[in-house]
Structure 1
């Protein structure tokens, strides 16, 4: 396969992955915002605590979606490690997402329902970029290339999420 053909295949796979990630993420976004607004308007929890609770519910929802839809073809041999890394990177995303909401709410006093939802949404967007990179690179890794191809070993470090095609060296 030519270099251009190999690049096209990799870009097509990345695009399909991004679309599936977006579908699960979009559903998770709805879960996150619905739980956030439900908790915020029916309880006396402070805005950031309501957001953290909503984010945790969305993380559980997203793990199931990612594992069984977006990354169902990925290596399943190390579920404990996978779940540990997923929770670690999800927690980092939670801090990003809710740090933005915290700053808007307590740093700038922007606490109306509209402002809270806007900054929650912005936080989710920024955290999603981080999560996409970290999940595909570290959590839901590609299976090793069959037949001992010349591709990099997916267990050797980051970038294992793209090892579907052997790399050609001139």
Structure 2
């Protein structure tokens, strides 16, 4: 049991980040997939639909990751983070576009099921890239400890 406790203590920060990243990612996935299918129905173009869906779901993911998943990390400026976040999401979007493009234009499978499977494969590959790149370049490790929470109003009134 001590081995498990030591292992948990060593990787607890990573485990908490992965859990939060996964929850935000799951919500962004639902947004992305729902909008992708809606845009397929409205616009018809699988690649254009993917781009629109990704821009909207990535905006949601940025807010969730900045203010929840990686809130304990140093904030290096909203403009810098936002630019890098969307640059890296653009690279991750290429995974999805390649999967959808291959399915649609190389395999000539343009039915809803095939396009959604391709979307899921692209999102999966992009997610691996995003987690690694966000930790590496966007949401940096804090150089100073960041307080877990602000003091309560009651504590401030007692002083």
Aligned residue number for residue 92 of structure 2? 93
| 1:142-153 correspondence runs (5 A) | 142-145=141-144
Within a 5 Å distance, the mapping from 1:73-88 to structure 2 comes to 73-88=72-87
CA shift for structure 1 position 77: 3.5
CA distance in 1 between partners of 2:102 and 2:12 (Å): 38
Residue in structure 1 matched with residue 65 of structure 2 by the alignment:
66
Is 1:26 paired with 2:23?
Answer: no
| TM-score relative to the length of structure 2 | 0.83
Aligned to 2:152: none
Instruction: State the alpha-carbon separation in 2 of the partners of residues 90 and 36 from structure 1.
Output: 16
The gaps in structure 1 that reach 5 residues or longer are 147-170
Query: What is the RMSD of the two structures over their aligned residues, measured on CA atoms?
Result: 1.7
Cα offset, 1:124, TM superposition: 0.2
Quote the residue 1:114 is aligned against: 113
**Normalized per residue, which structure has more helix?**
2
Quote the residue 1:123 is aligned against.
122
Distance in 2 of aligned mates of 1:51 and 1:77 = 30
**Which 5+ residue runs of structure 2 have no aligned equivalent?**
146-159
- Distance 1:46-1:5 versus aligned 2 partners, 3 A rule: same
**CA positional deviation for 1:84:** 1.4
1:132-160 Cα offsets, whole Å, 9 max, x none, are 000011100111145xxxxxxxxxxxxxx
In 2, the alpha carbon distance for the partners of 1:8 and 1:87 equals 32
Secondary structure at the counterpart of residue 43 of structure 2: coil
Partners of 2:5 and 2:143 in 1: how far apart? Answer: 21
Cα pair distance change 1:44/1:88, threshold 3 Å: closer
